[in-house]
């Protein structure tokens, strides 16, 4: 408990002394970030929220199904080794 408290206070002091992460640079320049955001906004403008939601739901269902299938296959392989 004491160690975690000391670490939290130490990190807080470090962030205050160094102005947090505001002085860190980014991967892209401001102009490149703006261009990337504008490009994404232009592309996504034509996609409806319902279509995006349905595609996201389908991806989640496929990922969940693949996870369950692989779990069952691994479980069966584990029971055959006995």
Q: What is the mean pLDDT of each run of 10 residues along the chain (82 residues)?
A: 88 84 77 93 88 95 96 82 54
What pLDDT does 70 receive?
93
Burial string for 20-52 (b: 16+ CB within 10 Å, else e) reads eeeeeeeeeeeeeeeeeeeeeeeeeeeeeeeee
pLDDT of residue 45: 85
**pLDDT at residue 80 in the model:** 63
How high is the pLDDT of residue 34? 94
d(CA 42, CA 37): 9
pLDDT at 60: 97
pTM recorded for the entire structure? 0.47
């Amino acid at each position: 408990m004491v160690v975690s408290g000391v670490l939290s206070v130490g990190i807080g002091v470090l962030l205050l002394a160094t102005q947090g992460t505001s002085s860190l640079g980014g991967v892209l320049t401001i102009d490149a970030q703006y261009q990337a955001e504008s490009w994404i906004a232009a592309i996504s403008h034509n996609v409806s929220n319902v279509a995006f939601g349905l595609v996201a739901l389908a991806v989640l269902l496929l990922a969940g199904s693949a996870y369950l299938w692989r779990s069952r296959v691994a479980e069966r392989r584990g029971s055959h080794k006995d």
